[in-house]
Amino acid sequence: MKVRFTSGYIAITSAIIISVLVMTLVFATSFSGFSGRSNILDAYYKETSNALAEACVATALSKLAANGSYTGNENITVDGNQCAVLLIETAGGQKIIKTKAIFQKTVTNLKAVVAAADLSIVSWEELPVL
């Protein structure tokens, strides 16, 4: 008399399929968390780079207020990080201030157009490339 053990194969196959499904779910969840962390870090770098570029614009405005012939073209250190005020252009009654900041390989280029008479901001934009 032969004894057949076929019911064990169904249990093993079910366990393997369930294990593969659970491993796939765990992998997808951990990858999603890793990707989310990377996105948050990139957003922080961009925010910091933008703040540095804005600080350079504010510094250029204060130097223009103190000296109307200020031409820019200098690097400025803000809290241990550097940004650059590029050469300030004059167009009619306006001054064009361009700044560039790089933080952890994240670049922000700002262009602020101000009225030369009272240094009020006429326009403000982020440029893709300077």
Pick among 1.10.10, 3.30.70, 3.30.1300, 3.30.1490: CATH of 7-127: 3.30.1300
Q: Which H or E run contains 72?
A: strand 72-78
Mean pLDDT (whole number) for 71-88: 92
Alpha-carbon span 37 to 119, nearest angstrom = 41
**Over the stretch 49-68, which tens digit does the pLDDT of each residue have?**
999 999 999 999 999 999 98
Q: Which pLDDT belongs to residue 3?
A: 59
User: 94-103 and 72-78: which strand pairing?
Assistant: unpaired
Roughly how many angstroms between the first and final C-alpha of the chain, as a whole number? 87
pTM: 0.73
